[in-house]
Structure 1
Amino acid sequence: MNNRPMMTIKRSRFAKGFDTVTLLAYLAGIIYLIFMWGQLPDEVPGHYNGAGEVDRWGSKWELILLPVIALFLFAFMAFMERHPEWHNYMNLNENNIEFQYKNSMLLLNVLKNECVLFFTYLHFKTVQVALGKAASLGIGFLPIFIGITIGSLIYFAIRSFKNK
């Protein structure tokens, strides 16, 4: 890792656009929570089981944790995205280093934004359940989250292996 060159690599338009969409959705979720705060009951869903059903109720103040965790994830993963020389690679060589750095940066960008969007959705849906506008997250939430995340990992791993 110490002998990997640092390279200045421009972020793609896709990465910048995905960040923008994610941040707008995140801010909309915060604004939604602020507007709905007075209508929320004192106890809101605090945890869901694998089927998306509420299995623990907690204080409405716990809702603040979801956007805080999402913001931390976004900041940390954005920092790591900007340092591809710190990432783990297989078959890294002089001929493919720029592609591998770009691929790894884009992978982190996609995972970062997916996580924040899922946290934002979870945050929104929890408010909906607390207000009685929804019964649960739905049985599809967990498989969709896992499927999209693993699908992204597989896609970028295949790209990496093809360009060794």
Structure 2
Amino acid sequence: MLDAVRFSIFQWPLEACAAFFLLAGLLYPLTQWGTLPERVPSHFNFRGEPDRWAGRWIFGWFTVLEVFLYGMFSYQGHSLDYLLGAAQTLSAFTLLILWTKVVLTGLFAYLNWTIVRVARAQAAKANIPVMMLFSALLVVPVILLRVK
């Protein structure tokens, strides 16, 4: 059985990363709002090219989705319990939940940044290798935990 105590050293850094990505993903579009065109990309095809466009309101939906996912992963991973000192150990399952929260909030931050850049014509498309990296990062803890 995996030792739950040894995972607790990852709790604070991962929670801090998730909170940073959440704030970055939410605040960046707001700071750029005045320079955005009325239409922004809302979907990218498998080559990273924008194939659907929407109004700037799409950032509102992204915000709702990102905050919902962050909240659900925080609830399921008992983040508040740990931060308040009620939970003393971090199980392998909780580590997986926390890692997933970090990767998904990072992905949303990257998507918001990409949407802004493509909308302003600073980039022609989304960077597919970065998207593949986020996908690969989702399975890293599963592989590491299975190797043990």
Q: TM-score normalized by structure 1?
A: 0.72
Does the 8 Å CA contact 1:53/1:138 hold for their aligned counterparts? no
1:121-140 map, 5 Å: 121-140=110-129
Q: Match of 1:152?
A: 141
Identity %: 28
- Tell me, yes or no, if the aligned pair for 2:25 and 2:108 is still in contact at 8 Å: no
CA offsets, 1:27-65, max 9 Å, x none? 233332122101111100010112211110111110222
How far did residue 131 of structure 1 move? 0.9
Matched-pair contact (CA < 8 Å) for 1:22–1:113: yes
Which consecutive residues of structure 1, in runs of 5 or more, have no partner in the other structure?
1-8, 84-98
Which letter maps to 2:63? P
Aligned partner of 2:83 in structure 1 is: none
1:4-48 per-residue CA deviation (whole Å, 9 max, x = no partner) reads xxxxx8x82422221112212322333321221011111000101
Alignment of 1:4-153 (within 5 A): 12-82=8-78, 102-153=91-142
SS in 2 for 1:52: coil
C-alpha spacing 1:26/1:44, structure 2 compared with 1 (3 Å): same
Quick one: distance in 1 between partners of 2:39 and 2:141?
Answer: 35
The structure with the larger Rg is 1
Deviates more, 1:16-25 or 1:130-139: 16-25
2:43–2:51 contact (8 Å) kept in structure 1 = yes
- Answer 1 or 2: which has greater helix percent: 2
Find the aligned partners of 2:131 and 2:24 in 1 and give their Cα distance.
23
Pick closer, same or farther for the CA change 1:150–1:21 going to 2, 3 Å: closer
Say if 1:67 and 1:123, in contact at 8 Å, map to a contact too. Answer: no
The 8 Å contact of residues 67 and 120 in structure 1, kept in 2 or not, is answered as no
Q: Which has the higher contact order (CA 8 A, sep 6+)?
A: 2
